[in-house]
């Protein structure tokens, strides 16, 4: 049985899954606003040391959700999401001396990412599965290599000195101002994505993942939906990349390297591929682990790999799915006691 | 002309370690459906082991071969453990789950190596007999290149004999072709899987050991090599060993030709080749027109 089959009945967004899921996870607009508000308050109250960490978590949340559009919603494994993220970062970096409005820069980055993703989706149309995963990897690596060949992109040193800019007369260069700015943008983007997820289009994406042949028979245009999914994912990944550039002030080829694509896949899997909010949870946990717990130590990979392996082998639904087996186990316990013998349901 | 021949021979020699890793990768994929990310990690561990065993001394060819053999054997054990512990539990869970599991394994290996050996790069001396160059007329070639090519020929022939001319090979091909049917005929598919995984891992260790004198052994070696060997497997066609051979040599040659004749494009060799091949033949050069592709592509 594949993952997809295992969770067919309770997939988020699938009509049958909606009722069941709402018991375990926050969904809908109101909750999002509440969560954002709560997050914002917590973030502000944190000391200055943690504001950068919080910003990173917020930005990676958007990146992970957009990557999960391909990975979880559409079931097309992409190992090249860093291409769009990095593309957005470099876009912001290249325009750094023009003194543009930061929002305009972010929009520019998004448009670039969407264009790149659109072109790539058309090129890669014919391949599926593993081959497709490798094509995405290759695509990302070509861009990575470009930064070393094209002089203006700065090679290994990257492009330093990116201003955060100012918005509505408010200087964003302080981390306490920037974290609010990032939070606002990411919240808006996530709300938009949530709308997309709940729309007919979102349902079609999930339907195509579960059974492309049947979805096509029901009238879904597999090709168009795939191109559209890619374009939207590219758009929001690039926005995350642009925010990252503004936040850290420097762009390096690391923003394009396939290891970052791998990391974002890890975030999605840890959080739970089949939940809209799964990648957000994954991004927060992953960032916390790699920045705070291991402080960027090279051997941190060992533990990250261990966590990923545990998720793949045991907790297949990721962190967001944990309440599910827990509830099941609890119900099982109750049932067992009532019936007075073990494994009554087998 | 001379320069061209030298470039070609260099290219083939560059291709040999790639072929060794990729043949293991493609064999494992063919039988188990696992595209093993961790193979780059296995390669790195093999290289580190040889560095550790030889410890910077210039040694004779026999002790070098012994060290390489030890690396291959150690990797066979690691392969055995990871197959039993991870991949045998994920049988039938789909390509992507397996890809993620192997990525997790790669991260673990990468972290463990970084933890034990630190961030600095190490080198190992070429064995004394194999250093220096061989001259034929005015053509000069490093001896080590010729040694690598010889090893490549030996391994390729060995693999061919194993797969096409032995009963073990017959079983492997049967499982790769149709696992259910092979089991119905009495082949113990899980044993074949273990055997193939161990063999593939040992080949990666061998490649790492042989590659140690010509690469800089440090963290990041795994990431660099896993990409190249994936490229080889994809270009050659998933599951095809002869495809891997052709693709590895082609990649080595393309790389060297680009470095010599079009330095502006150096570094793009892998990507250009993969891109062009996949656009023309989505299943690779010698890949089967298989389950995954064609039917969906028409939609």
If you average pLDDT over residues B250-266, what whole number do you get?
Answer: 84
Q: Which two tokens stand for residue B30?
A: 């063919």
Report yes or no: B44 at the A interface, CB cutoff 8 Å.
Answer: no
Cβ partners under 8 Å of residue B244, min gap 6: B19, B22, B23, B25, B26, B232, B233, B236
The residue-averaged pLDDT of A218-233 equals 88
Is the pLDDT confidence value at B163 over 70?
yes
Choose between B210 and A169: higher pLDDT: B210
Q: What are phi and psi of A170, to 5 degrees?
A: -105, 125
CA distance A213 to chain B (A): 8
Higher-scoring residue by pLDDT: A67, B293: A67
pLDDT digits (tens, 9 = 90+) for B83-107: 998 888 887 777 778 888 898 999 8
The residue to which tokens 């990032």 are assigned: A182
For A170, the 3-state DSSP assignment is strand
The number of C-beta contacts closer than 8 angstroms across A and B is: 146
- E-state strands within chain B: 133-136, 139-142
Q: What's the confidence (pLDDT) of residue A337? A: 58
Burial of A85 per CB tally in 10 Å (0-12, 13-18, 19+) = buried
Residue of A74, A122, A131, A306 to mutate, testing the B interface (most B Cβ within 10 Å of its Cβ):
A131
pLDDT, average across residues A172-191: 81
A6 Cβ under 8 Å from any chain B Cβ: no
Q: Which of A2, A258, A306 sits opposite B108 (nearest CB)?
A: A306
Q: Is A283 exposed, middle or buried (0-12, 13-18, 19+ CB in 10 A)?
A: buried
Mean of per-residue pLDDT scores for chain B: 83
Nearest to A312 among B97, B110, B115 (CB): B97
The pLDDT of residue A334: 66
B interface mutation test: which of A134, A136, A222 has the most B CBs within 10 A? A134
| A122–B contact, CB cutoff 8 A | no
Q: What is the pLDDT of residues B8-57, one digit of tens each?
A: 888 888 888 889 889 988 888 888 888 888 898 999 999 999 888 887 66
Instruction: Supply the DSSP symbol for A251.
Output: B
In 3-state terms, what secondary structure has residue A148? helix
Model pTM score: 0.81
pLDDT attached to residue A32: 60
Nearest to A77 among B93, B99, B219 (CB): B99
Nearest Cα neighbor of A82 from A311, A292, A236, A255 is: A255
**DSSP letters along A99-119, please?**
---HHHHHHHHHHHHHHHHHH
How many helices (H) and strands (E) in chain A? 15, 2
- Contact (Cβ atoms closer than 8 angstroms) between residue B249 and residue B11: yes
> Taking CA atoms, what residue in B is nearest to A221?
B299
- Give ipTM to 2 decimals: 0.81
pLDDT in tens, A35-83: 765 676 576 656 666 777 888 888 998 999 999 988 888 888 888 888 8
Structure tokens at A80: 């090249």
The pair phi, psi for residue A159, each rounded to 5°, is: -115, 105
Which residues fall within 8 angstroms of residue A338, CB to CB, at 6 or more apart?
A: none
For chain A, say whether B259 makes contact (Cβ under 8 Å).
no
Strands B139-142 and B133-136 turn out to be antiparallel
Does A295 touch chain B if contact means CB atoms closer than 8 Å? no
């Amino acid at each position: 049985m594949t993952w997809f089959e295992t969770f067919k009945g309770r997939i988020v967004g699938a009509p049958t899954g909606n009722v069941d899921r709402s018991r375990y996870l926050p969904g809908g607009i109101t909750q999002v606003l509440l969560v954002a508000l709560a997050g914002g308050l917590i973030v502000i109250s944190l000391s200055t040391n943690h504001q950068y960490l919080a910003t990173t978590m917020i930005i990676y949340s958007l990146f992970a959700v957009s990557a999960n559009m391909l990975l979880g919603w559409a079931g097309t494994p992409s190992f090249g999401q860093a291409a769009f993220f990095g593309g957005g970062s470099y876009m912001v970096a290249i325009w750094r001396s023009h003194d543009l409005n930061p929002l305009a820069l972010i929009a520019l980055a998004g448009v670039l990412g969407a264009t790149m993703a659109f072109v790539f989706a058309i090129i890669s149309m014919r391949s599926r599965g593993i081959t497709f995963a490798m094509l995405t990897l290759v695509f990302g690596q070509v861009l990575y290599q470009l930064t070393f060949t094209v002089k203006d992109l700065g090679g290994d040193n990257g492009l330093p000195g990116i201003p955060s800019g100012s918005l509505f007369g408010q200087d964003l260069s302080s981390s306490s101002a920037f974290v609010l700015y990032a939070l606002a943008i990411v919240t808006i983007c996530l709300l938009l994505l949530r709308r997309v997820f709940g729309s007919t289009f979102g349902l079609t994406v999930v339907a195509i993942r579960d059974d492309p042949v049947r979805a096509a028979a029901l009238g879904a245009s597999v090709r168009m939906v795939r191109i559209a999914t890619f374009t939207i994912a590219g758009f929001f990944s690039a926005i995350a990349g642009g925010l990252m550039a503004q936040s850290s002030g420097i762009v390096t080829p690391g923003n394009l390297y396939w290891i970052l694509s791998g990391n974002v896949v890890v975030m999605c899997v840890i959080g739970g591929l089949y939940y809209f909010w799964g990648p957000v949870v994954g991004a927060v946990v992953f960032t916390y682990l790699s920045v705070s717990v291991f402080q960027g130590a090279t051997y941190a990979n060992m533990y990250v790999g261990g966590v990923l392996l545990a998720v793949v082998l045991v907790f297949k639904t990721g962190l967001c799915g944990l309440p599910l087996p827990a509830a099941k186990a609890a119900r099982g316990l109750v049932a067992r006691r009532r019936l007075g013998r073990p494994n009554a349901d087998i | 002309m001379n320069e061209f021949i030298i470039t070609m021979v260099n290219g083939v020699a560059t291709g040999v370690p790639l072929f060794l890793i990729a043949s293991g990768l493609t064999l494992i994929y063919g039988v188990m459906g696992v595209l093993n990310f961790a193979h780059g990690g296995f390669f790195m561990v093999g290289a580190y082991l040889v560095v550790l065993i030889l410890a910077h001394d210039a040694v004779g060819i026999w002790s070098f071969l012994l060290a390489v053999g030890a690396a291959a054997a150690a990797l066979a054990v690691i392969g055995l453990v990871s197959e039993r512990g991870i991949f045998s539990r994920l049988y039938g869970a789909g390509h992507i789950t397996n890809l993620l599991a192997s990525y997790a394994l790669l991260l673990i290996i990468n972290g463990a190596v970084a933890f034990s050996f630190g961030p600095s790069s190490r080198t190992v001396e070429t064995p004394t007999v194999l250093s220096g160059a061989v001259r034929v007329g005015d053509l000069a070639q490093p001896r080590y290149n010729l040694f690598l090519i010889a090893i490549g020929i030996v391994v390729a022939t060995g693999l061919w004999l194993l797969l096409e001319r032995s009963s073990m090979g017959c079983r492997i091909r049967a499982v790769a072709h149709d696992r259910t049917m092979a089991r119905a005929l009495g082949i113990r598919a899980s044993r074949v899987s273990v055997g193939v995984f161990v063999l593939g891992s040992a080949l990666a260790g061998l490649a790492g050991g042989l590659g140690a004198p010509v690469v800089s052994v440090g963290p990041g070696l795994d990431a660099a090599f896993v990409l190249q060997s994936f490229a080889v497997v994809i270009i050659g066609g998933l599951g095809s060993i002869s495809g891997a051979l052709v693709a590895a040599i082609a990649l080595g040659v393309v790389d060297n030709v680009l470095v010599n004749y079009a330095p502006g494009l150096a570094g793009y060799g892998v990507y250009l080749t993969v891109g062009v091949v996949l656009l023309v033949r989505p299943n690779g050069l010698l890949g089967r027109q298989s389950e995954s592709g064609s039917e969906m592509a028409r939609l």
